[in-house]
Amino acid sequence: MPNPAASPPTPPIPLTALLADADLGLRRIAGPPDDEGRDAARVIHWVHTSEMADPYPYLLGGELLLTAGVQLADAHADTYVARVMEAGAAALGFGVRPVYDTVPTALVEACDRHGLPLLEVPPRTPFTAVARAVWRLMAEARHRELRRVTQAQQGLAAAAARQDPVSAVLHQLAVRLGGHAVLFGPDGAELHTTGRTPSPGARTALARLARVVRTGRGSPAHPTGPAGGPGPAGPTGPTGPTSASDSADGAHLAAYALGGGQGLVLGVAAREREAGDHTLTGVAVVLLSLLTAPHQGAAEAGRSAALVRLLLAASPDEAARAAPLLGPGPWTVVHARGGDTPFAAGALAAALGSALVETDGDTGTVRIVTDREVTPQPGWTLGVSAPAGATELAVADTRAGRALRRAEAARAGLVRHRETGLDGLVTPEEATAHARTLLAPLAGSPDLIETLRAWLSLHGGWDRTAAALAVHRNTVRQRIARCAALLDTDLDDADVRMELWFALRRL
């Protein structure tokens, strides 16, 4: 089995996905039969190439181990395969030539005996091509996972803005997980339940799991599954674990304590467990904790829901519906980077007079919505939008992101996005029509438009534009040259630059 502490951030891929790649030409020639779909369940976490006589010390588990058999002898084939199996490798790939013209019979027999899938790697396929294919498949799987998580987060956030948000969030979670969701009260009663009802045994086990999470006690101390083994517990709080998982009657079960000190527990049950399920459930736990927190009225719950919708790209119609709940404003969106402690984002939000804060786990960007004046903060780089109404927050969010990139490029503590008085010289409709006509040759090329915008805003500075966009300066030069060619204009002309800048600001 792979070492969980060393597992890569990308999801593993099934062995069948690699075998299906016709360009590689891999052929499965030994190992357990696939009459029950074992290959689909067997996953690869990484690829490792070794010509060691005993690769065991260098394996973490879950690998596709590749070898050409440089130090493999028929007499030692059984010992070699046994050690590879003991290390937890997922499969063995044997490269034909230059050492062996065919896969050794002793190795095939040993893999059949120990139940290790053996793949023949044809001479035309280098080991690096196999590794590259695995990383590509992992990246594709990660992309699918992120897209699924993003769509589910949007659904959960939209549910939180509905009239009955607790029931709506539970229903949306059950739909996204393809299972059952229930909110247990302090006394263990099912306050809200939705989705596919699990078996009586699974339902009883889920209630017991919720009791363990809620009280830190229970009988037994940790619930057991069909095999009688203890279910794993999550992080511990003042009275016990804040989450725990188990299985019963073929269903995966999990329970999570909600914040707010109310003794509420979220329980979920699903037949299948997919990548990203834990993230989705975590979002639901946060939303339900906010919605059920004591002294939180409809206005406060609506504020939190509106913020979540904003940060997850709410549509204009959804933003308009949330506007009465968010408040009169005007509101300022802040993008920030900095801070080196887990509590830094909350401290920054407090300093800016706001409780509406979110941190992007992938980029580390902190996003805050506040109705206070934003001032520079020690240790932080801030990009600040112009004040906006609730229905304009999506645009303000984009502008705050651009301001942050400018601040990082200029090494400034704070950069604000501001409208100039020249916008009043023409109507917005006329200005927008002119901008679309002028920039029509760049339509459909967002990279070119964004590069031109950054380059003009930074006064044609190649290095600063490259830093702001996180690309190489040669990439900036190539894109700007392409813009000049498509627009059929001289970008060294100050008048041209000024006209393009005003046009870009209208888009």
Residue 143 lies in a domain: no
Residue 145 lies in a domain: no
Provide the whole-model pTM.
0.44
Domain carrying residue 481: 422-506
Identify the burial level of 55 via C-beta atoms within 10 angstroms of its C-beta, where 0-12 means exposed, 13-18 middle and 19 or more buried: buried
Q: How many CB atoms neighbour CB 405 within 10 A?
A: 22
Last residue of a domain, one of 137, 170, 193: 137
Last residue of a domain, one of 251, 276, 292: 292
Do 21 and 104 belong to one domain?
Answer: yes
Identify the burial level of 94 via C-beta atoms within 10 angstroms of its C-beta, where 0-12 means exposed, 13-18 middle and 19 or more buried: buried
Residue 379 lies in a domain: yes
pLDDT 10s digits, 212-228: 888 764 333 333 333 33
Residue 392's CATH number:
3.30.70
pLDDT 10s digits, 383-414: 998 888 767 777 888 888 888 988 888 888 89
Once rounded to an integer, what is the mean pLDDT over residues 301-316? 47
Q: How many helices, marked H, and strands, marked E, lie in the chain?
A: 17, 17
Residue 348 lies in a domain: yes
439 contacts 507 by C-beta, under 8 angstroms: yes
What is the DSSP annotation of 141-191? HHHHHHHHHHHHHHHHHHHHTSSSHHHHHHHHHHHHHTSEEEEE-TTS-EE
Q: Which residue, chain included where needed, has tokens 């031109």? A: 452
Do 256 and 353 belong to one domain?
Answer: no
Do 286 and 185 belong to one domain?
Answer: yes
Residue 240 lies in a domain: yes
Do 52 and 132 belong to one domain?
Answer: yes
Residue 142 lies in a domain: no
243 contacts 213 by C-beta, under 8 angstroms: yes
pLDDT 10s digits, 220-259: 333 333 333 334 445 544 444 577 878 888 888 888 988 7
Residue 490's CATH number:
1.10.10.2840
Do 303 and 288 belong to one domain?
Answer: no
Residue 13's CATH number:
3.40.1390.20
Do 60 and 177 belong to one domain?
Answer: no
Cis-peptide, bond into residue 220, ω within 30° of zero: yes
The total number of structural domains in the chain stands at 4
